[in-house]
Amino acid sequence: YPLCALSPTTSYKLNFTYVVKEPEDGLWGLKVNGEWNGLIKQVMDGDVVMAAAAFAVSHERQQVVNFTVPIDLQPYTFMYRRPTTLSRAVLFIDPFTPLVWVCIAAMTAIIGPIFWLVHRSSYVYKYHDTVNEYGLFKMSNCIWYCYGAMLQQGGTILPEADSGRMVVGFWWLFVMVTVTTYSGNLVAFLTFPQIEFPIASIDILIKRGFEDGITWGLLGGSVIETYLSEAEDAKFQHLEEMGVKHVESDSIPGGSIFPMIKEDDHVYIEWKSKLEMIMKEQYNITGLCDYAFGKEDFFLNE
């Protein structure tokens, strides 16, 4: 954001006039292929006496121009679409993960035949000559018995052999633990609505980029490009390589960056103070808080 608002006061106190001359390329000043552009080039070439703007002080820039005493220290962060509440249409299956549901379904399917096999193989019934084709000696009845236990409906017939009773006992223990855990988790999900997982850090942003196709961008021609490309950490270099290069007009009210963030899950990387101003401007226009900041700040600059 320009600091030209300081110029009228300064010119009045020091009794001089001035003319504001914007750079033709609209850039702050970045070294590309050995040549500077933007405001930095204007100062270097003598087109202007000074550049009144919120510059980030970098080592490269200090080699070609002089800077005043730093006015403020600002970190970089990123702005993304505010997380929303997830749909409750399938809330009843959320208490367990898909793997747990598969294991429960598989166990429910095989416990009936296992119970029938153990019950049928017991020598107690052969000794008393009570083997028949009714009751728990019939596989379908064993399956229905185990299914009823899962719904917490007890059967009218119990096996006489200890082997069968042990199978029934372990199955009822499994049912009680499963139902209790499911009920507790379901109450928790009903009490506290689920929110989309926020993008709190650069690592999560890159991970979501690979998994969900999230994109990100930054102001083209600004010093953040140099910071990211020259950073020792590979994740920052990846941000610069894959990032969309925006222009200044994209972030003004009505700019193209806002529908990108809200509709296309785009993330914008900038100075934190500038993002706060952008968010405030959008709130004044729409009356809604549609954006959120990442928790990770990086590249603290003068």
- Band (pLDDT 50/70/90 cuts) for residue 266 is very high
Over residues 122-137, mean pLDDT: 79
pLDDT band at residue 11 under the 50/70/90 scheme: confident
263 contacts 291 by C-beta, under 8 angstroms: no
C-alpha–C-alpha distance, residues 222 and 283, integer Å: 26
pLDDT digits (tens, 9 = 90+) for 39-51: 888 999 888 888 8
**Could you tell me what percent of the chain has a pLDDT over 90?**
11
Token code pair at residue 246: 């925006």
- The predicted-structure confidence for 49-74, as pLDDT tens digits, reads as follows 888 777 777 778 888 898 888 777 78
How would you classify the pairing of strands 244-246 and 298-301? unpaired
Q: What is the pLDDT of residue 268?
A: 93
Cβ neighbours, 10 Å, residue 263: 9
CA dist., res. 218 & res. 224, Å (int): 8
pLDDT for 7: 66
Q: Kindly report, residue by residue over 131-188, the tens digit of the pLDDT.
A: 787 778 888 888 888 888 888 787 777 788 888 889 888 988 999 999 999 999 888 8
Residue 2 pLDDT exceeds 80: no
Calculate mean pLDDT across residues 231-245.
Answer: 89
Q: Rounded mean pLDDT of the chain? A: 84
d(CA 143, CA 17): 94
Residue of 106 and 33 predicted with greater confidence:
106
Residue 223: both structure tokens together: 């010093």
pTM equals: 0.58
CA 228/CA 235 separation, integer angstroms: 9
**Per-residue confidence band for 300, with pLDDT thresholds at 50, 70 and 90:** low
pLDDT score for 301: 58
Average pLDDT over residues 267-292: 89
pLDDT at 267: 92
| Residue from 291, 243, 221 nearest 29 by CA | 221
Residue 91: predicted pLDDT? 80
Give the least confident one: 109-118, 131-140, 173-182, 238-247: 131-140
Tokens of 193: 């609505």
Average pLDDT over residues 11-24: 82
pLDDT > 70: what percent of the chain?
Answer: 96
